[in-house]
Amino acid sequence: MAKHRFFNMYLTTTISVALVLFLVGIECVVLISANDLIRQVKENVALTLVINDNAEPDELQRIDNLLTIAPFAREHKFISKDEALREHIEYLGEDPVSFLGFNPLQASYEVFLAADYAQSDSIAAIEQTLSVFPSVSRIVYQKDVVSMLDSNVSIFSIALLGAALLLLFIAVALIVNTIRLHVYSKRFLINTMKLVGATPHVIKAPIVRRNVLMGLLAGLLALALLAAAIAYVRYSFGLNLMMLTWQNIAVVSCVVLLTGILITLLASVFAANHYIRMRTDDLYYV
């Protein structure tokens, strides 16, 4: 009967810790998803280098070589006058050559920026670098979008990080209290071992080992719940909560497992020390 009760208590504690670690996993997924979303938005910022009609092929080649090796250019492509005309006809359904008698469109380079360079000060420096080419008549980009990113991304990131830290604090407090209650149920066993001469290390070792194992099992259970939740949201609602790269999966797994192991380790050590230092008479009043 005692073994059955102990198993039920151990199972209940493991599930409780797993649910809290599931919350930690959700925090990680939200943070990673927000970071991926911000990066995708920044990587869609593009500069258009409008090229003069009298541009020399050698200078165009130098521009192309620069964009190939430049760290700010994630991707670039050259759009000739003829390609620009075809795209104009395709999108607007009118041919300016038919009433102007010539192609008024200019060739251009479409340069998609790396995420780290999609901000106003970096783009200003990029404009200065590219403006030295005489063939570049002007550089066009969506200044309102860049300004919005500059003003809102930092605020959004700080607010999201603050909310995540608050939720993490709550999660840690819940796990610590759960472990303390688990150790509390063994306070008289701890006292008995102390009375027969067991050292603090001998008393704490099985408690810490059992709770760390419980933290590991709870972490694995939390990861299984998290995987099931992500799969359900993805296939039922078509939402990608997180880019499932090996790097992202490894980060979430490490955070959940290490949180479960470290917090249960520290909480069990502190709780065991607390009851080891208590006198026998005091155990009846806690």
Give the tens place of pLDDT for each residue, 40-57: 888 888 888 888 888 788
Q: What is the largest CA-CA distance in the chain?
A: 105
Residue 1 has pLDDT above 60, yes or no: no
* Mean pLDDT value of segment 159-165: 81
Query: What pTM was estimated for this model as a whole?
Result: 0.71
Q: Are residues 219 and 131 part of one domain? A: no
Most confident segment among 1-15, 30-44, 126-140? 126-140
Q: Are residues 21 and 51 part of one domain? A: no
CB 79 within 8 A of CB 140: no
Q: Are residues 158 and 90 part of one domain? A: no
pLDDT of residue 254: 92
pLDDT of residue 47: 87
Q: Are residues 82 and 59 part of one domain? A: yes
What is the DSSP pairing of strand 46-51 with strand 136-140? antiparallel
* Mean pLDDT value of segment 124-132: 86
Q: Are residues 217 and 125 part of one domain? A: no
How many other β-carbons are positioned within 10 Å of the β-carbon of residue 170? 12
pLDDT of residue 283: 66
Domains in the chain, number = 2
87 confidence band (pLDDT: 50, 70, 90)? confident
Residue 243 has pLDDT above 50, yes or no: yes
Q: Are residues 161 and 22 part of one domain? A: yes
4 confidence band (pLDDT: 50, 70, 90)? low
* Mean pLDDT value of segment 211-222: 90
pLDDT of residue 241: 58
Q: Are residues 31 and 12 part of one domain? A: yes
Q: Are residues 54 and 16 part of one domain? A: no
Going by C-beta distance under 8 Å and a sequence separation of 6 or more, which residues neighbour residue 18? Answer: 217, 218, 219, 221, 222, 225
Q: Which amino acid is at 142?
A: Q
Domain ranges, residue 188: 2-40+150-285
The domain boundary residue, chosen from 141, 164, 191: 141
What whole-number distance in Å separates Cα of residue 119 and Cα of residue 72?
Answer: 11
223 confidence band (pLDDT: 50, 70, 90)? very high
